[in-house]
Amino acid sequence: MKAWVGFCGLLLTFNVSAAGGQSTLDLLKTIAFAGHQTDYSGIFVYQYGNHVETSRIFHIVDANGEYEKLESLDGPKREIIRHHGQVWCYRQHQMVQVESQQGKGKFPMLLPDQLSALSENYNVKELGTDRVAGYETRVLLFHPRDKLRYSRKIWVDMNTGLLLKSAVLNDKNQIVEQYAFTELKVGKDADRAWVNSGEVKNLPGMSQQDSSNVVAVVNSGWVVDALPAGFKKTTELVRPMHGNHAPVTQLVFSDGLSAISVFVEPFGPGEDENEGLSSRGALNLYHKVVDNHVYHVVGEVPPITVIQVLNSIRYNGK
């Protein structure tokens, strides 16, 4: 399996006075809800190290559901469209339907899964207010209770609850990666021209969702013994992987803020026998050959965590 898949593969309304009386859990629910139920369009920047990517996003909710379009503004044309759990990606000069990503939230979304458990794994602190893209925001810091996950700092719009900026910090309080809107229109000001143009109706497979190439399993027999506290399994399935000779077993774990994916595949011709660790922003990948299988662990967690997780994978089937 390739160390990094492309753009197609990887790729949170509260009033200030009212928010002051909200519990942390209620506030997080508001932020998660806003990411899916607010109309917005704008431009945001993603940064890690010296790398910078600029993207345009459209997000509209109407009687027909939730629509999202994401366009890269740098380099070759890259585009993703999402609607009703279906995903399309621009490939080879045309839009093609691709597999929906399981358990993965992208900016400006915050995973709503297991929000009630966040306080067990993070200390949440308010840092005051700030302005992002011309909007007044409330700043929150999620500091982990262990060294096995990153800190998260978020800037939330005071009027809508929409996430406008997000930074991942390491144990030295250095920025590992950061997303931030530079231009934004919200509510009635959001650009709806794309949805109104009817482009979505002409997408291939619009009327149906093809899940024939993904086989869900109840229990594959693969287990992980050394997950960080608070991580729970959210998905387990067998899936084909481009460039692989055999289907891959995938297990996804989340603590409500970060996700870890474990991939297990039979070792075959052309597979890399060398142990390896690589990084892209907050995302770390570790792979290793063990007992005629290739293990890959990828997650928005520190390198020490993906290594610990991989070394605890074992088969518990019959």
All residues at 6 or more sequence positions from 295 whose CB lies less than 8 Å from its CB, including other chains = 262, 263, 264, 287, 288, 289, 310, 313
Calculate mean pLDDT across residues 238-253. Answer: 79
Q: What is the pLDDT of residue 128?
A: 93
Sort residue 264 into left (φ over 0), alpha (ψ -120 to 50) or beta.
beta
Q: Is residue 211's pLDDT more than 60? A: no
Q: How high is the pLDDT of residue 214?
A: 53
Q: What percent of the chain has pLDDT over 90?
A: 52
Q: What is the DSSP letter of 202?
A: G
Q: Which CATH class is domain 215-315?
A: alpha beta
User: Phi first, then psi: what are they for 39, rounded to 5°?
Assistant: -85, 130
Q: What percentage of the chain has pLDDT greater than the value 70?
A: 80
Q: Which of the listed ranges 60-64, 159-163, 200-204, 301-305 does the model predict with the highest average pLDDT?
A: 301-305
Strands (E), 187-308: 215-216, 222-224, 232-239, 248-254, 259-266, 276-280, 283-290, 293-299
pLDDT band at 104 (very low <50, low <70, confident <90, very high): very low
Binning pLDDT at 50, 70 and 90, where does residue 116 land?
A: low
pLDDT at 110: 67
In this prediction, residues 183-198 reach a mean pLDDT of 90
**What's the pLDDT tens digit per position in 144-188?**
999 999 999 999 999 999 999 999 999 999 999 999 999 999 999
CA–chain centroid gap for 86, Å, is 16
Buried-exposed string 173-206: b where 16+ CB fall within 10 A, e elsewhere: eeebbbbbbeebebeeebbeebbeeeebeeeeee
> How high is the pLDDT of residue 19?
40
Domain segments of the chain as ranges:
16-202, 215-315
Q: What mean pLDDT comes out for the span 38-42? A: 96
The pLDDT of residue 318 is above 80 = no
pLDDT of 148 reads 96
The residue that leads in pLDDT, 201 or 163, is 163
Residue 15 has pLDDT above 70, yes or no: no
Return the DSSP state at 4: S
pLDDT, mean over the chain: 83
CB of 132 closer than 8 Å to CB of 284: no
pLDDT score of 17 more than 50 = no
d(CA 221, CA 59): 39
Is residue 13 scored above 70 in pLDDT?
A: no
Chain segment 49-87, per-residue pLDDT in tens: 999 999 999 999 988 889 999 999 998 889 999 987 788
Both tokens of residue 57? Answer: 């996003």
Q: pLDDT: is 36 or 210 the higher one?
A: 36
Query: Which CATH fold would you assign to the domain 16-202?
Result: outer membrane lipoprotein receptor (LolB), chain A (2.50.20)
Q: Look at residue 83 in the predicted model and tell me its pLDDT.
A: 86
Q: Using pLDDT thresholds of 50, 70 and 90, give the confidence band for residue 199.
A: confident
- How many Cα atoms occupy the beta-carbon half-sphere of 182 within 13 Å? 10
State pTM to two decimals.
Answer: 0.83
Q: Tens digits of per-residue pLDDT, 259-300?
A: 999 999 998 766 667 889 999 999 999 999 998 999 999 999
Question: Which DSSP category does 305 fall into?
Answer: H
Regarding predicted confidence, which is higher, 185 or 246?
A: 185
